[in-house]
Amino acid sequence: MVNVIVLIKDIVDLTEIKVDPRTQRPILAGLPRKISDVDKRAVEAAVQLKEKHGGKVAVLSLGDDKTRTALREALAMGCDEAYLLKDPAFEGSDTLATSRILAAAIRKIGEYDLILCGEMTLDSLSAQVGPRVAELLGLPQLTYVRSLDLKEGRVVAERDLEEEDEVVEAPMPAVVTVVREINEPRIPSLMSIMRASRKKIEEWDREALGLSEGEVGSAGSAVEILEVRAPKMERKKMIIEAETPEEAAERLVEKLMEEGVLR
Q: Which fold has domain 2-220?
A: Rossmann fold (3.40.50)
Q: What is the pTM of this model?
A: 0.85
d(CA 252, CA 258): 10
- pLDDT of residue 24 exceeding 90, the answer is no
**Alpha carbon separation from 36 to 121, 173, 251 (Å, rounded):** 6, 24, 42
Summarised one tens digit per residue, pLDDT across range 79-112 is: 999 999 999 999 989 999 999 999 999 999 998 9
Domain boundary assignment for the chain? 2-220, 233-263
Contact 109, 60 (CB under 8 A): yes
Taking alpha carbons only, the member of 201, 114, 214, 202 closest to residue 156 is: 114
Average pLDDT taken over every residue of the chain: 91
Summarised one tens digit per residue, pLDDT across range 105-159 is: 999 999 899 999 999 988 888 899 999 999 999 999 999 999 999 998 899 999 9
Contact 45, 178 (CB under 8 A): yes
- pLDDT of residue 232 exceeding 80, the answer is no
Question: Is residue 29 very low, low, confident or very high in pLDDT (cuts 50, 70, 90)?
Answer: confident
**Alpha carbon separation from 194 to 72, 76, 199, 236, 248 (Å, rounded):** 10, 8, 9, 52, 58
